[in-house]
Amino acid sequence: MEFPKTGNNTFLIIDQGNTLTKIALFDHDTLIWLRYFNKLSAHDVQQLELDKINISAGIISSVAVHPSSLLSILPDTNWLILDHNTPVPITNRYHTPETLGNDRLAGAVAASVLFTGSDVLVIDAGTAITYDIVTGSKEYLGGSISPGLTIRFKGLNTFTGKLPLIESISFNEITGYDTRESILSGVMNGTRFEMDGFIREYKEKYPDLRTILTGGDAIYFDKKLKSNIFAFPNLVIDGLKLILQYNLEK
């Protein structure tokens, strides 16, 4: 595989989420390469021929067990395995840091850098929809976890007798004129109302709040929310890179 030319600070990021695994390469602060996998195997990594690149360091973040097989493929890489004990450039005020998802923490780290000195709400629309607040003084406080679009559609199909399984699509109508449209209206509009509601509540507490929208399902809402938001598709990847750099500099 042909990779872009890299410098002396090439960072490998592996982010294993609930649905997808992302592998990214940064040349210092610039994202130069990104790939998605439904299920990442050691064979997939071998096919990428990452061993041909002079990788300065790498970070692995996983919602499941950390893949030791991936570490063995690139044994000479300086790896950082992200967990709740890993130093990060913000203060984590979460009461149970060991249960906090790496993606939520990484998103908060990136948000604190993107909007230095501002209170930021991060909405990550993935398998679950998470809402996370990080203050202008770089304190991560916590947030909320809500079912994502796929979970909502599957829930209606699984726990009812006749409702069909619908896939996520853009839907602009408030009224559904058949069962399919009614489900789309309920799930898509209901999720949008939820997001707008969280933003409104947080703005009452933090008047100068900035809001970032990220995640695979962000495309359904980035143009439809009433509030002014900033869309950053690779927020978590950027946050993981920042955590890696922070630990390399310590």
Instruction: Tell me the residue type at 208.
Output: D
Q: Which pair of structure tokens corresponds to residue 129?
A: 């929809």
Largest CA distance in the chain: 59
Strands (E), the chain: 10-16, 21-27, 30-37, 57-62, 79-81, 91-92, 120-125, 128-134, 139-147, 210-214, 230-231
Q: Are 181 and 173 in contact (CB under 8 A)?
A: yes
Q: How is residue 220 annotated by DSSP?
A: G
Task: Confirm if 234 and 34 have CB atoms less than 8 A apart.
Answer: yes
Q: Which amino acid is at 13?
A: I
Nearest-CA neighbor of 39 among 59, 57, 55, 62?
A: 62
Using DSSP's 3-state secondary structure scheme, residue 147 falls into strand
Q: Is 119 a catalytic residue?
A: no
From 103, 119, 132, 238, active-site residue: 103
- Alpha carbons 19 and 21: distance in angstroms, whole number: 7
Instruction: Find out whether 41 and 50 touch, Cβ atoms under 8 Å.
Output: no
Residue 101 is given by DSSP the state: -
In the numeric block, the tokens 């042909």 are attached to: 2
Residues identified as active-site? 103
